[in-house]
C-alpha cells in the first residue's frame, strides 16, 4: 500500500495577500512608535499590507486589486478577532453584531482593494519609468 501525501498550497493571490499582511506588521509597529499614533494591526494590514500585496501582484503579472481585496478581508478578520479578545463582552443584540461584523469585513475589503490597486499602479509606473531610462 502506497501512502501519498498531497500538499495543497493556497492560490497565488492568497499567497500575495498573506505575505502582504505579514510584511505590514513591522511597518505598523514602527508607525505606532510615532507620537500621537493610534495605529492598529488591522488598519496597518489594510493599508500597508494591501499596498505591498498589490505591488507584488503587479510585478508577478497578477491582479493587484484582487490581492488587495483579500488582504483587506484578512485585515477585517484580524481586527474583529482582536476587538473580540480585548473587549471580551457579549453583544446584547446578536443581529446587530452580525450586521456590524459583515459591514466591517466589506468596508475593510474595499479599502484593501483601493490600496492594492494603488500598490499595483506604483509598481507599474516605476517599472515603466525604469524601462524608459
What is the tens place of the pLDDT at every residue in 61-103?
999 999 999 999 999 999 988 888 887 655 677 787 888 889 9
Q: Cα–Cα distance between 25 and 36 in angstroms, integer?
A: 19
**9-36 confidence digits (pLDDT tens):** 888 999 999 999 999 999 999 998 888 8
Q: For residue 76, tell me if it sits in a domain.
A: yes
User: Which residues, in sequence order, are CB contacts of 78 under 8 Å at separation 6+?
Assistant: 21, 41, 42, 45
Q: For residue 107, tell me if it sits in a domain.
A: yes
Q: For residue 132, tell me if it sits in a domain.
A: no
The per-residue pLDDT for 85 is 82
DSSP code of residue 49: I
Helix spans in the chain (H): 12-32, 41-44, 50-59, 64-87, 94-132
Range of the domain at 114: 12-127
Q: How far is CA 10 from the centre of its chain?
A: 15
Q: Cα–Cα distance between 25 and 14 in angstroms, integer?
A: 17
The number of domains in the chain is 1
Q: Which triple of cell numbers denotes residue 116?
A: 492594492
Q: For residue 5, tell me if it sits in a domain.
A: no
Amino acid at each position: 500500500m502506497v501512502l501519498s501525501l498531497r500538499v495543497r498550497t493556497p492560490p497565488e493571490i492568497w499567497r500575495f495577500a498573506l505575505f502582504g499582511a505579514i510584511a505590514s506588521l513591522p511597518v505598523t509597529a514602527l508607525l505606532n512608535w510615532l507620537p500621537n499614533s493610534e495605529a492598529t494591526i488591522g488598519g496597518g494590514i489594510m493599508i500597508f499590507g494591501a499596498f505591498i500585496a498589490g505591488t507584488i501582484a503587479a510585478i508577478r503579472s497578477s491582479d493587484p486589486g484582487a490581492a488587495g481585496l483579500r488582504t483587506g478581508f484578512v485585515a477585517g478578520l484580524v481586527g474583529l478577532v482582536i476587538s473580540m479578545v480585548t473587549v471580551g463582552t457579549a453583544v446584547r443584540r446578536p443581529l446587530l453584531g452580525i450586521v456590524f461584523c459583515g459591514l466591517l469585513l466589506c468596508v475593510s475589503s474595499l479599502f484593501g482593494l483601493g490600496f492594492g490597486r494603488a500598490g499595483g499602479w506604483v509598481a507599474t509606473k516605476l517599472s515603466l519609468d525604469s524601462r524608459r531610462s
